[in-house]
C-alpha cells in the first residue's frame, strides 16, 4: 500500500511517500519551494540521491503535478504511475473545535476547513489548495485530513477559555486550540510505549516540542489537558521569530508610537520577535549558542528567556497534572540541544526532574537522559509527524 503525505504551506509543499504494506518504509520525499513566485524549484530525494528541478509552479496544483512527475520519473521515480498511490494524507493547520481526530475529506470536511480560514489565514488556504489539487488530479483516491489542533480537543473549558467577554467565544470561537498536535501525540505515545504506561489513565506526561515554533503539552492518560499555543501559534514560549505570550497592552503602546497598523504589528510579533528580535543575531539556536559562547550578551539573554519560560511551563504543567511521571524533549532544538535540555530543567529538582549531563550528551536519537533513580523520566524522542499522517491515512483509507 502506497501512501503520499503532504504538508502544504503558503509558498512551499513538503511531501513524503510510504510503502505501508508491512511496517512503514519511506520511499521518497521532497519539497517544492517558491510556489507562486519566480524561480520555483522542486527538490526530490530517494535514499541518498537528490534531484533538483527548476520548473514553474504558479499554484499548488502545478506543484502537485511537479511532485507527481518526480515520483514517476525515470530519474528518481519510485512509482510506475500515480494510480499506484492508494491514499493521500494532508496536514491541516486549523480544524477549530470541529475535529478531534483525523478524517476522510468529504465536501462537508472541505467546507469546514474553509470556514476555519479566519483562524488559520496563512495555512488553511494552502492546505485546502493541496487537497483540491490532489482531488482534481487523482479523483476517487481517498484524501485524509490530519489536523494540528485535533489532539488538543480534550482540554477542559477552564484551560481553553480566555478571560474575555464570553460573547467573543460564542460569536467567533475565540479560544485556545493548540498546535503541533501530531507531534505531541506521536511522542506521547512513544513515551508511554517506552515506559510501559500505555493505557494507564494516571500516566502524567509533559511534552516539549522545541523547534522554530515551540509548544508544550500536559498529557494525562494519553489525553491533552493543556497546551501553550493558543488561538494561533503565536502564544506560549518565546520562539525563533514569534514573541510568544506578552502583555496584550504592548500592542497599542508600540502601534501608537511607531505609527504602524495591525497587520504590521502582527508581522512584527510573528516574524521579527522571539530570539531573533531579542538577540538581533538569528532565529537559529545554533547561531545563538555560538554568539552567546563568544560573549554576545543579547544572544545569551534570548537563550536565558527561552530556558526560563520553558522551566515555568514545565513546572506549571506539573501542577496542572497534579504531578509528573515523565517529560519529553522533541523537534529540532529538543532533539539536538543538550544545553537547552539541561538549562530548561535546571532548578526543577524540587519536582523530581534531574538531567544526567553524561547521558544528556546525545543528539537526534531516543534516550532517557534523567539521573539514575530520578523520580521523573526525562526522555529525548525524535518526532515523526509524517508517520502520524501516513498511519492515520492508512487506517482511514482501509
Q: What are the residues binding ligand ADP (CB under 6 A)?
A: 211-213, 240, 284-286, 331-333, 336-337, 363
- State the nearest-atom distance from the C-beta of 113 to ligand ADP, in Å: 22
216 CA to centre of own chain: 11
3-state secondary structure of 60: helix
Q: Quick one: DSSP state of residue 350?
A: G
Which C-beta is closer to ligand ADP: that of 189 or that of 282? 282
Residue 266, all three cell numbers: 502582527
Phi, psi dihedrals of residue 228, rounded to the nearest 5°: -90, -25
* Distances from the Cα of 369 to the Cα of 134, 307, 326, 340, 377, angstroms: 43, 17, 11, 13, 8
- State the nearest-atom distance from the C-beta of 316 to ligand ADP, in Å: 22
- State the nearest-atom distance from the C-beta of 384 to ligand ADP, in Å: 12
- State the nearest-atom distance from the C-beta of 340 to ligand ADP, in Å: 7
Strands 41-46 and 49-54: antiparallel
Report the C-alpha gap between 284 and 84 in whole angstroms: 39
Whether the Cβ atoms of residue 143 and residue 135 lie closer than 8 Å to each other: yes
Which C-beta is closer to ligand ADP: that of 101 or that of 289? 289
- State the nearest-atom distance from the C-beta of 285 to ligand ADP, in Å: 4
Report the C-alpha gap between 384 and 349 in whole angstroms: 30
Our answer to whether residue 372 is catalytic in this structure is: no
Which residue has the closest beta carbon to ligand ADP? 332
Which C-beta is closer to ligand ADP: that of 143 or that of 214? 214
- State the nearest-atom distance from the C-beta of 72 to ligand ADP, in Å: 28
β-bridge partners, 206: 218, 327
Which C-beta is closer to ligand ADP: that of 312 or that of 363? 363
Whether the Cβ atoms of residue 389 and residue 181 lie closer than 8 Å to each other: no
Residue 263 makes CB contacts below 8 A (sequence gap 6+) with none
Whether the Cβ atoms of residue 242 and residue 234 lie closer than 8 Å to each other: yes
Which C-beta is closer to ligand ADP: that of 273 or that of 336? 336
Which C-beta is closer to ligand ADP: that of 160 or that of 179? 179
- State the nearest-atom distance from the C-beta of 211 to ligand ADP, in Å: 3
Q: What are the DSSP calls for 219-257, one per residue?
A: EETTEEEEES--SSTTSSS--SS---S--THHHHHHHHH
Among candidate residues 59, 148, 284, 289, the one labeled active-site is: 148
3-state secondary structure of 180: coil
Report the C-alpha gap between 52 and 149 in whole angstroms: 33
Residue 369, all three cell numbers: 537522559
β-bridge partners, 223: 220
The closest of 356, 350, 347 to 377, measured between CA atoms, is 356
Which C-beta is closer to ligand ADP: that of 130 or that of 382? 382
- State the nearest-atom distance from the C-beta of 95 to ligand ADP, in Å: 19
Which C-beta is closer to ligand ADP: that of 20 or that of 331? 331
To the nearest 10°, the Cα dihedral for 394, 21, 136, 128?
40
Residue 264 makes CB contacts below 8 A (sequence gap 6+) with none
Residue numbers annotated as active site: 148
Amino acid at each position: 500500500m502506497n501512501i503520499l503525505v503532504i504538508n502544504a504551506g503558503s509558498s512551499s509543499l513538503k511531501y513524503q511517500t510510504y510503502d505501508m504494506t508491512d511496517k512503514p518504509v519511506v520511499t521518497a520525499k521532497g519539497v517544492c519551494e517558491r510556489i507562486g513566485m519566480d524561480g520555483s524549484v522542486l527538490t526530490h530525494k530517494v535514499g541518498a540521491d537528490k534531484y533538483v528541478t527548476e520548473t514553474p509552479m504558479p499554484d499548488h496544483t502545478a506543484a502537485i503535478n511537479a511532485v507527481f512527475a518526480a515520483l514517476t520519473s525515470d530519474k528518481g521515480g519510485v512509482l510506475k504511475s500515480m494510480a499506484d498511490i492508494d491514499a493521500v494524507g494532508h496536514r491541516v493547520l486549523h480544524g477549530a473545535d470541529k475535529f478531534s481526530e483525523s478524517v476522510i475529506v468529504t465536501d462537508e470536511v472541505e467546507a469546514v476547513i474553509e470556514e476555519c480560514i479566519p483562524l488559520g489565514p496563512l495555512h488553511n488556504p494552502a492546505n485546502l489548495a493541496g487537497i483540491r489539487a490532489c482531488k482534481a488530479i487523482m479523483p476517487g483516491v481517498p484524501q485524509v485530513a490530519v489536523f494540528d489542533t485535533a489532539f488538543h480537543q480534550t482540554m477542559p473549558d477552564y484551560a481553553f477559555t480566555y478571560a474575555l467577554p464570553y460573547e467573543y467565544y460564542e460569536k467567533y470561537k475565540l479560544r485556545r486550540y493548540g498546535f503541533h498536535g501530531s507531534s505531541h501525540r506521536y511522542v506521547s505515545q512513544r513515551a508511554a510505549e517506552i515506559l510501559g504506561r500505555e493505557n494507564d489513565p494516571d500516566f502524567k506526561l509533559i511534552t516539549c516540542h522545541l523547534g522554530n515554533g515551540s509548544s508544550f503539552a500536559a498529557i494525562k492518560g494519553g489525553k491533552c489537558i493543556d497546551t501553550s499555543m493558543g488561538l494561533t501559534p503565536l502564544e506560549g514560549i518565546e520562539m525563533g521569530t514569534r514573541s510568544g505570550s506578552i502583555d496584550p497592552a504592548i500592542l497599542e503602546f508600540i502601534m501608537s508610537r511607531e505609527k504602524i497598523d495591525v497587520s504590521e504589528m502582527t508581522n512584527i510579533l510573528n516574524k521579527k520577535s522571539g530570539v531573533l528580535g531579542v538577540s538581533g543575531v538569528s532565529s537559529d539556536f545554533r547561531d545563538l549558542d555560538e554568539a552567546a559562547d563568544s560573549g554576545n550578551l543579547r544572544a545569551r539573554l534570548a537563550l536565558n528567556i527561552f530556558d526560563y519560560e520553558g522551566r515555568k511551563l514545565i513546572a506549571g504543567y506539573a501542577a496542572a497534572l497534579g504531578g509528573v511521571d515523565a517529560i519529553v524533549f522533541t523537534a529540532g532544538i529538543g532533539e539536538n540541544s543538550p544545553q537547552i535540555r539541561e538549562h530548561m530543567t535546571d532548578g526543577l529538582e524540587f519536582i523530581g526532574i534531574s538531567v544526567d549531563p553524561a547521558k544528556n550528551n546525545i543528539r537526534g536519537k531516543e534516550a532517557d537522559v534523567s539521573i539514575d533513580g530520578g523520580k521523573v523520566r526525562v526522555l529525548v524522542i525524535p518526532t515523526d509527524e509524517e508517520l502520524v499522517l501516513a498511519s492515520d491515512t492508512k487506517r482511514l483509507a482501509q
